[in-house]
Amino acid sequence: METCSRTNEIHRLIFLRYPHCPKTLTPGTHIERDLGGDSLSYLELVMDIKNAFDISLPDKEAGSVQTVGELVELVQKHAPGK
């Protein structure tokens, strides 16, 4: 899957998980502060992403993510066919 397609899919999953988030996401969008998320909703988002991309994301790396851009980079790093 291309980088742009992965990014679009991650954005789609964010919009599903955070229905009240801003309609425009940037790499600097902060997951908790800007999207109104908490640790549980973020954990659910990570599970959504793991299922959508059929990948494994190390808990330590996923736990350190704060922005949409960092999340996209993490998926890129662990997705097959980078």
Q: State the pLDDT at residue 21.
A: 81
Q: What is the pTM of this model?
A: 0.89
Our count of domains for the chain comes to 1
Residues recognised as catalytic = 38
Q: How far apart are CA 48 and CA 25, in angstroms?
A: 18
Domain with residue 45: its CATH number is 1.10.1200.10
Quickly state the pLDDT bin for 82 (edges 50, 70, 90). low
CA 68 centroid distance within chain: 6
Residue-wise pLDDT for 7-62, tens only, equals: 999 999 999 999 888 788 999 999 999 998 888 999 999 999 999 999 999 999 99
Tokens at 15, concatenated: 């919009």
Range of the domain at 68: 3-78
